Amino acid sequence: MRALNRLFGRAFNDAENYFSHPPSHGYLERLLAKDHVIARAALIDESVVGGLIAYELEKFEQERREIYIYDLAVTEAYRRQGLASALILKLREIAVAKKAWIIYVQADYGDSPAINLYEKFGQCEDFMHFDISVPRKSCANGP
């Protein structure tokens, strides 16, 4: 998992989130043990060259589940060789076993490689994504 996080940090050019405060071994162990967390890695010669993290979400409107691909990346040297597609196909197998209704993923406008990949598996839905900040309590501000 640590190797996969390093890969994500490099692939997404996001050192701040992936390298500045790495989670403890115990935290990763507990997270990976949860049924709704899906982590898969692509290995070549025991090196992590790709992977995905997905979450199973149970829905309220019907008795069904959706799976959200949160992170998916392949090391640059191994791109365009079918690894990302293989990871998605494996996730489809997992989705069938979990009786999931759908798998969904977000892509950034202009990220043609990701968009081209995802279009092989499904159709584009046009929507907006909002990050809603969560206020952090500061000791300096008092209770």
109 touches 118 (CB < 8 A): no
Query: pTM value?
Result: 0.80
Q: Please compute, for residue 28, the number of CA atoms within 13 A of its CA located in the half-sphere on the CB side.
A: 12
Q: Please report, for the chain, the start and end positions of each structural domain, with discontinuous segments joined by +.
A: 2-130
Whether domain 2-130 has CATH 1.10.490.10: no
pLDDT per residue as tens digits for the range 68-127:
999 999 999 999 999 999 999 999 999 999 999 999 887 767 767 667 677 777 776 776
Contact (Cβ atoms closer than 8 angstroms) between residue 54 and residue 91: yes
